[in-house]
Amino acid sequence: MEIYRKAEQVIIDGTTRVYRSRQGVIRHPEGIQVVVRSTNKEMWVVCHGFAEAEKDCIQIPLSGVWSVADGFGAVSVEISETSLLVKDVKEWSGFAFLLKQN
C-alpha cells in the first residue's frame, strides 16, 4: 500500500512504544493495543481492537501540533497539543495512520 511508502522513514528511523488498555492472555486478547513508531516529526500509529474494545480508551502524550497525514481503516482518535486519544475502537478491528508535526 502507498501509505507504507509515506511512512517509510519513521518505520526505519523511529522508536517504538506499545500501549495497552488491558493486560490479557495472548490467546484471548481484550481491550485496545496501540503501537506507535515515532521520530521528532512523524508518528506511525497502528491500533487493534480486541474483545470489549469499545469499553476502553488509551491516551498517548504528545507535544506540539500534530495532524493526520494519511491513514486506513476507521481511524477513531482525537488529537490535541498534549495527547492523542484512541477511543470508540470496534471489537476485532484495526486501523493505522501517519501523523506529521506541523
Q: CB under 8 Å to 28, separation ≥6 — which residues?
A: 51
pLDDT value of position 99 = 97
CB 75 within 8 A of CB 31: no
From first to last of the 102 residues of the chain, give the pLDDT tens digit: 799 999 999 999 999 999 999 987 788 999 999 999 999 999 999 999 999 999 999 999 999 999 999 999 988 899 999 999 999 999 999 999 999 999
pLDDT value of position 1 = 75
Q: CB under 8 Å to 23, separation ≥6 — which residues?
A: none
pLDDT value of position 96 = 96
pLDDT value of position 76 = 83
**Residue 5 DSSP SS3:** helix
Type of residue numbered 38: S
**Structural domains of the chain, with CATH:** 2-101 (2.60.40)
